[in-house]
Structure 1
Amino acid sequence: MQTKAERWWDGPWPWLIYLVFYAVPWLWARPAAWQLAASAVGLAVFLPVYFASHRLTGTRLFATAGVMLLVGAALAPVGGGWTVFPIYAASEAGRARPARGAAIAIALIAIATIAIGLGWRQPLFWWAAGVMLVIATGGATISRSAFYARTQALLASQEEVRRLAGTAERERITRDLHDVVGRTLTLAALKADLAAKLAAPDPARAEAEMRAVAGIARAGLAEVRAALAGQGGSTLAHEIAASREALAAAGIAARLAGNGAAIPADAGAVLAMTLREAVTNVIRHAEAGTCTIELALDARLARLVVADDGVGRSFREGLGLAGMRQRLTAAGGSLSIQPDAPGTRLVATVPA
C-alpha cells in the first residue's frame, strides 16, 4: 500500500522501464519465435502480479514476489535477461514490514537466483550481476520504506505539536481573558455602585467615580487586546497597587507584608496573575472585611499568600482557580487553598 509521502514515481508504472533489460541479450542474437512466445507468456503472468503486488502487504506481498521469482526461473532457459524478474521480486519484498522479514525474503530471492543460474549451468556473468542487483535493489527498497515510515511519523508528530500548541494558546487566551475581564468588570461594577450612591449627596464625587469607571473600561479594553495578541501579563508591583485599589473600592481593608520588589521578574509575572484572580475572588465571594497579601522569597521559591477573614467562599472551584493552577504548574510552582479561622488562605509558590 502506498503511503502519503510517496511521490508519483514510486508507483508501479515508471519502474516498468527496467523490463527493457530483459531484451538486451537479443541485441546480438536474434530470438527465435518460440523464445518470443515464451517471453510474452511470462510477461502476461508477470504484469498483473506486479501491479497487484504494489497494493498488497504481508503474506500476500511475499506470495506475489514468489510468483515473480518463478516467472524468472521459467524464463531462464529462454535466452532473455531473466534476472530482471528476481530483481522486481526483491524490490516488492523490500516493502514488507517488519524490515527483518523483508531482508530474509530478499536473501532467499538472491539464493534462489544463484541456484537457478547454477541449475541451468549458465555462465557466471549471465546471472551474477542480477544477484547483486537483487541485493542492492531490495536493500534500497527497505531503506526507502523506512524513510517513508519515519517521514509519516514526523508529519504526525508535527501535526500533534500544532494541535497541542493551538490548544495551549486557546487555554492561555481563556485564562487571560477570564482574569482581565473579571477584574475589570468587578472594579467597574463597584465604582458604578458607589457613583449611584453618591449621585444625590455628592454629585462631584459621583462624577469622579464614573470617570474612574470610564478609565477602568479603557484600561480593561487595552488589556484584552494585549491578551489576544499574546502580550498579556503585568508586573507584581503593578498588581499589588491595583489589588489594593480594588480592595479599597470594595470596602475591604488591605494589608501588605513582605517585599515584592525582591522577587525576580519572571516569578513575579506568574504571581501577579495569581494575585489578580485571588483578589477578584475575595471581592466577589468572600464578604470579607480584611484581606492580607504576603510576599516572601527564599533561596529557591517565591511565595504569595492571600488570606481573608470572610465566610470561606473566596476560592471556589471554577475557571479562575483552574487558570491559577495551570499557570503555576506550567512554571513549576504549586497552589494550595486552606480554610482559615475565619476565611480562606491561598498559598502560591513558584521557582525563583
Structure 2
Amino acid sequence: MDLMKLKRILSGVQPSGKLHIGNYFGAIRQHIALQNEGECFYFIADYHSMTTIQNAKTRLEHVRDVALDYLALGLDPSKALLFRQSDVPEVCELAWILGTVSNMSLMEKAHSYKDKIAKGIEASIGLFTYPVLMAADILIYRSNLVPVGQDQVQHIEITRDLAEKFHRAYGKEVFPLPEHRLDVGAKVPGVDGQKMSKSYGNTIEIFAEGNPLKKTIMGIVTDSTPVEAPKNPENDTIFTLFSLFAYETEIAELANRYRAGGLGYGDSKKMLLEKVNGYFGPFREKRKELASRPDYVEDVLRTSARKARAEAIATMEQVREASGFLKQPISV
C-alpha cells in the first residue's frame, strides 16, 4: 500500500447483525469504490457493538460475517485495510484522553444518543460516550476524510471539536481535522416502506437466497390497488427497490406498466426477486468460497490490523508526549 496517497479515508461498520441491501447501497458500495481514491482504513467496530450486544459468541459471529461480506463484495486487501477495532487497543487509551478534554454538555447534544434511548436501548456510559470513542477511531489514524450518512455528520463535528480541545489544552497540534463526506448512496426503503434498518426488522439481507429471500420479497407491504387499476410507481416500495438494480430503460418500462394498469404487485415482486438474485448471485458464490477459507480471512484481518496499529502507535507517541506521559508504555 502506498502510504503517500493524497488522503486517508476512514470508515467503520458495526457488527450488530446481518448486513442488508440498505447497508450496501447506502454505504458499502461507496466504500468499495473509495479504495481506488485514497488510502482506506475500514474497521469492524466490535468495541462499539458492546453498547447493544452483550453475547460474546454473537459478537464473534457478526464480526466474521462483516469481514466475509466486505471481502465478497469487492474489498481488495491490497488496496484497503480491513481490521477489527479491538485489534488496535490504543484507540481506547486515546478515547480516555479525549474524554478528559470533553464536557458533558457536548455529549448531551449528540442526536444518536437521544435516538437510541428513544428506541429503548439502555442508557449506559458506553452509549453516552460513544462519540468520544468514534472520535478516537478517526483521529488515531490521522484520517482526512470520513464518509458518513447525514445522521453521522454531527459526530464528525464533535471529533473536530475534541481534536481542537486537545490541541488547546496541551499546546501541540497532533491531529489533522477530518472532513466528512456524505455518502451518495440511495435511500433504501424496507419491506414495510420505512427506512431499511435492522432496528425496524424490515431488511432484505444481502446474502439471503432461496426461499428465505423469496419469502421476504413476496412479503413487501403494498396497498390494496386491484391488478387492473393504474398504480403510482413513485410511491411504491417494490418499484423503488427495483430501480436500485435495473437499467434506466428497464425502470422506464416498469413505470409505464404501473401507470397503464394490469400489472399486479405479485408480478412486480417476482421481477424484483429476479433482479436481486442476478445482482448478488456472483457475490454469494464468492462469499461461500471465502467462508471455506477461514484462515485466509483471519490473515487479512490480522495483517491489516498490524498496519493500522503501527499508525495508531505512532499517533499515540505524539499524544502521550504532548500530554506528559512516556512516549511508549513500559513493556512487560
State TM-score, norm by structure 2: 0.23
Structure label with greater radius of gyration: 1
By relative contact order (CA 8 Å, sep 6+), the higher-ranking structure is 2
Say which structure is richer in helix.
Answer: 1
